[in-house]
Amino acid sequence: MEGSAKKRLATLVGCNYPNSRHELSGCINDVHAMRDLLLSRFGFSPDDVVLLTDDAHLDSSSPSSSALPTGANIRRALTDMIDRAGPGDVLFFHYSGHGTLIPPVKPHHGWQHRRDEAIVPCDFNLITDVDFRQLVDRLPAETTFTMVSDSCHSGGLIDKEKEQIGPEAETTTADVSGAIHRTVGRYLPFESVLGHLASLSGIDSPHVGEHLAELFGAEASRKFSGGAAAAGRGDDAILLSGCQANETSADMSPFEAGSGGKAYGAFSNAIRVVLGEKEEGAVISNRELVMAARKVLRERGFEQHPCLYCSDENADAPFLWPRPEKKQQLRACM
């Protein structure tokens, strides 16, 4: 296997928010299914795959609360993964759960179009696009960091990453007359996030950063404490988002075609469908995977549009495989 001496590290996060009014059904199933795929198809070792799910506290065999996908635990797992990485390693992060959009502290003309994307850990300690930018800026040279986010408003979750497939991507009209009824989306309005945090912090403030600072201190997003992202260097971060920044992502119920009797995220399931149609050992580029996932979702009547954000080179690089050495690329062209 090409690059077999390199490390392949993964962090998988699934938030179902059990016993809350924000509860979802398919997120934990998503990451368990992805773990199986990483081990069986992509050569990951079980010891190098970290799984954080919010059913851990319901399992008496769980060793500690460290397995819960809190904001601090997710950041720590990602930081540890990057700290372990060396040049040429393959890193992977899969998030399945709620996403939200954060308005600016001082609204201005056109502010509706300049909100910041964030994921919502089980304790609501938001992780923003700025946080992900700061993480990937620490990557060693030639180390790829692939992020799949099956959440609402996930387009652009790595701040300042180049858009390869987004709202302007060419799509074809499909017959969705057989579209299946869906009742659950992964949409969590910012007002609900703010209200929940305010109920915990006891602070009367419209600014989410003040609530996060009160509740989580140094473990809150640096976005709200002056830690803005830099301009964004050329890097090997790759974001496959479940939808555009202005869209929502959907859960598939156990009764929907292709779900196999379990609830799943529509985007996570589409990725598995596309990869399952490939022969063992066959590779597919990041661009091809996103476009094929769009096709699967369109044919099943979903309205969300997965997107791709990365460098030009990584857009056509194989999904979760090391890029070929430049010498090998030249030899192949001779």
pLDDT in tens, 82-107: 999 999 999 999 999 999 999 876 65
Predicted confidence (pLDDT) at residue 20 exceeds the cutoff of 60: yes
pLDDT of residue 107: 55
Residue 106 CB partners (closer than 8 Å, separation 6+): none
pLDDT of residue 161: 94
Q: What is the mean pLDDT of residues 135-161?
A: 94
Active-site positions read 98, 152
Predicted confidence (pLDDT) at residue 52 exceeds the cutoff of 60: yes
Flag whether the pTM goes above 0.85. yes
Q: Which among 315, 300, 301, 292 is positioned nearest to 171, based on CA atoms? A: 292
If one compares 267 and 62, the residue with the highest pLDDT of the two is 267
Predicted confidence (pLDDT) at residue 22 exceeds the cutoff of 50: yes
* 182 CB-contact burial (10 Å; exposed 0-12 / middle 13-18 / buried 19+): middle
Distance CA 70, CA 116 (A): 20
The helix/strand/coil state of 332 is helix
Predicted confidence (pLDDT) at residue 57 exceeds the cutoff of 80: no
8-333 topology per CATH = Rossmann fold (3.40.50)
Q: Is residue 56 very low, low, confident or very high in pLDDT (cuts 50, 70, 90)?
A: low
Q: What is the pLDDT of residues 271-298, one digit of tens each?
A: 999 999 998 888 999 999 999 999 999 9
Helices (H), 85-227: 129-136, 190-201, 208-216
The helix/strand/coil state of 21 is coil
pLDDT of residue 65: 47
Q: What is the pLDDT of residues 246-279, one digit of tens each?
A: 999 998 877 665 667 789 999 999 999 999 999 8
pLDDT of residue 176: 34
Query: What percent of the chain is predicted at pLDDT more than 70?
Result: 78
Predicted confidence (pLDDT) at residue 177 exceeds the cutoff of 50: no
Distance CA 134, CA 131 (A): 5
Predicted confidence (pLDDT) at residue 47 exceeds the cutoff of 70: yes
Average per-residue pLDDT for the chain: 84
Give domain limits for the chain.
Answer: 8-333
Distance CA 221, CA 225 (A): 8
If one compares 189 and 324, the residue with the highest pLDDT of the two is 189
Predicted confidence (pLDDT) at residue 131 exceeds the cutoff of 90: yes
Q: What is the mean pLDDT of residues 112-140?
A: 90
Q: What is the mean pLDDT of residues 219-230?
A: 74
Distance CA 297, CA 156 (A): 20
Q: What is the mean pLDDT of residues 119-128?
A: 97
pLDDT of residue 323: 59
Instruction: Classify strands 99-102 and 163-165 as parallel, antiparallel or unpaired.
Output: unpaired
pLDDT of residue 286: 98
DSSP category for residue 77: H
Task: Label residues 45-75 b or e (16+ Cβ within 10 Å = b).
Answer: eeebbbbbbbbbeeeeeeeeeebbbbbbbbb
pLDDT of residue 160: 92
Q: Is residue 314 very low, low, confident or very high in pLDDT (cuts 50, 70, 90)?
A: very high
Q: What is the mean pLDDT of residues 139-146?
A: 93
Q: What is the mean pLDDT of residues 108-124?
A: 75
